[in-house]
């Protein structure tokens, strides 16, 4: 575990995880309202690292855990911290996705949809599902959560955090903004080294890509006036506005260059140069689906509707 003060009374705790990313950053705000942003995976190692960090900082009890999104490397360990007395806060839509993941509903939807609409062959589909189902061991749905309102201002540390809805990677992804210092805790919304893959979710019975809402969120955050951002993976950086612009331009260039070559599965496979890997295939298909929905909005919504 690596603990570093990144702003007065604000600390970054970098913990190792065994996933596509090797580390996840959790942020601790010391002071009147001891707060943790994101909880890591549900593993003894991560729990231990958090306890050690709290001890080192002289924090007796965490008041609250603010989750950026429900994915296992960010929210997985929250239930352990709730049992220790912390309040767990998460965006409403993300909580629903988390429930669907834990109940297995999202696997069922993905299986149907990816097989029928994205054209994933049965054998490859089984491999993707197997990988994703394995992730369920890394998360525990808390018995009780508080659902965050958009724009809510939450006392945290010695100041406040404003909740900024930044969907795309997940439907209810939240970023937390320390307005006085101009610091944005950006979760997987804004990453310094990669473009987060756009998620897909059910909306009125149809699967939609997160990419259009992601593009809008990038535009909003570009004009937030934040001075620096603290991402969930990689190092803190200055000028989040320029990173927003950079990612938007990168996505627009990809869409421009992209020519659909059949199914979403075929497009995803092309991105991985014909080599199938369950993890990258999952992410690549989400890109292709997103590009499709931005390039040909009408076709994408037509093929996306499920009976």
Q: Which of 178, 188, 231, 293 binds Zn ion (CB under 5 A)?
A: 188
- Could you tell me the smallest distance in angstroms from the CB atom of residue 8 to Zn ion? 26
Whichever of 30 and 169 has its CB closer to Zn ion, that residue is 169
With tokens 């979403």, the residue in question is 264
- In angstroms, the CA 188 to CA 166 distance is 9
Whichever of 97 and 188 has its CB closer to Zn ion, that residue is 188
> Where does this chain touch Zn ion (CB under 5 A) — which range of 38-46, 59-67, 187-195, 236-244?
187-195
> Where does this chain touch Zn ion (CB under 5 A) — which range of 60-68, 160-168, 180-188, 200-208?
180-188
* Chain residues 114-153 in contact with Zn ion, contact rule CB under 5 A: none
Whichever of 65 and 300 has its CB closer to Zn ion, that residue is 65
> Where does this chain touch Zn ion (CB under 5 A) — which range of 58-66, 188-196, 205-213, 244-252?
188-196
**Tokens describing residue 117:** 């609409």
Residue 188 dihedral angles phi and psi, to the nearest 5°: -100, 10
Whichever of 82 and 233 has its CB closer to Zn ion, that residue is 233
- Could you tell me the smallest distance in angstroms from the CB atom of residue 21 to Zn ion? 6
- Could you tell me the smallest distance in angstroms from the CB atom of residue 167 to Zn ion? 15
**Cβ atoms < 10 Å from Cβ of 114:** 23
In this chain, which residue has its C-beta nearest to Zn ion?
188
- Could you tell me the smallest distance in angstroms from the CB atom of residue 198 to Zn ion? 14
Q: What is the SS3 assignment for the chain?
A: CEEEEEECCEEEEEEECCCCCCEEEEEEECCCECEEECCCCCCHHHHHHHHHHHHHCCCCCCCEEECCCCCHHHHCCHHHHHHCCCEEEEEHHHHHHHHHHHHCHHHHHHHHHHHHCCCCCHHHHHHHHHHHHHHHHHCCCCCCCEEECCCCEEEEECEEEEEEECCCCCCCCEEEEECCCCEEEEECCCCCCCCCCCCEEEECCEEEECHHHHHHHHHHHHCCCCCEEEECCCCCEECHHHHHHHHHHHHHHHHHHCCCCCCHHHHHHHHCCCCCCHHHHHHHHHHHHHHHHHHCHHHHHHHHECC
Asked if 94 touches Zn ion (CB under 5 A), the answer is: no
Q: How many residues bind Zn ion (CB under 5 A)?
A: 2
Whichever of 26 and 145 has its CB closer to Zn ion, that residue is 26
Whichever of 96 and 188 has its CB closer to Zn ion, that residue is 188
> Where does this chain touch Zn ion (CB under 5 A) — which range of 67-75, 84-92, 129-137, 143-151?
67-75
> Where does this chain touch Zn ion (CB under 5 A) — which range of 30-38, 73-81, 104-112, 209-217?
73-81
> Where does this chain touch Zn ion (CB under 5 A) — which range of 42-50, 72-80, 142-150, 283-291?
72-80
Residue 260 dihedral angles phi and psi, to the nearest 5°: -60, 135
- Could you tell me the smallest distance in angstroms from the CB atom of residue 123 to Zn ion? 28
List residues binding Zn ion (CB under 5 A). Answer: 73, 188
């Amino acid at each position: 575990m690596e603990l570093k003060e990144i702003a007065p009374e604000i600390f970054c705790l970098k913990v190792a995880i065994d996933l596509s990313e090797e580390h996840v950053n959790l942020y601790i705000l010391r002071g009147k309202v001891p707060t943790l942003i994101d909880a890591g995976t549900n593993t003894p190692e991560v729990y231990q690292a958090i306890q050690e960090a709290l001890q080192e900082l002289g924090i007796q009890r965490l008041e609250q855990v603010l989750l950026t999104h429900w994915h296992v490397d960010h929210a997985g360990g929250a239930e352990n911290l709730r049992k220790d007395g912390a309040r767990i806060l998460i965006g409403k839509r993300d909580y629903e996705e988390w429930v669907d993941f834990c109940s297995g509903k999202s696997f069922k939807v993905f299986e149907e949809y990816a097989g029928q609409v994205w054209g994933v062959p049965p054998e490859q589909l089984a491999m993707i599902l197997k990988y994703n189902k394995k992730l369920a061991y890394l998360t525990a749905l808390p018995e009780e959560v508080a659902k965050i309102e958009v724009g809510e201002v939450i006392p945290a540390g010695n100041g406040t955090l404003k909740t900024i809805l930044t969907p795309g990677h997940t439907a209810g992804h939240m970023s937390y903004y320390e307005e006085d210092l101009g610091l944005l805790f950006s979760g997987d919304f804004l990453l310094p080294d990669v473009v987060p893959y756009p998620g897909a979710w059910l909306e009125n019975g149809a699967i939609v890509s997160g990419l259009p809402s992601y593009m809008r969120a990038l535009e909003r955050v570009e004009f937030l006036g934040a001075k620096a951002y603290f991402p969930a993976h990689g190092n803190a950086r200055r000028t989040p506005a320029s990173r927003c612009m950079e990612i938007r331009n990168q996505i627009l260039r990809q869409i421009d260059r992209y020519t659909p070559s059949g199914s979403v599965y075929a497009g995803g496979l092309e991105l991985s140069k014909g080599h199938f890997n369950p993890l990258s295939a999952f992410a690549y298909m989400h890109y292709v689906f997103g590009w499709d929905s931005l390039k040909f909005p009408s076709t994408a919504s037509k093929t996306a509707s499920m009976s």
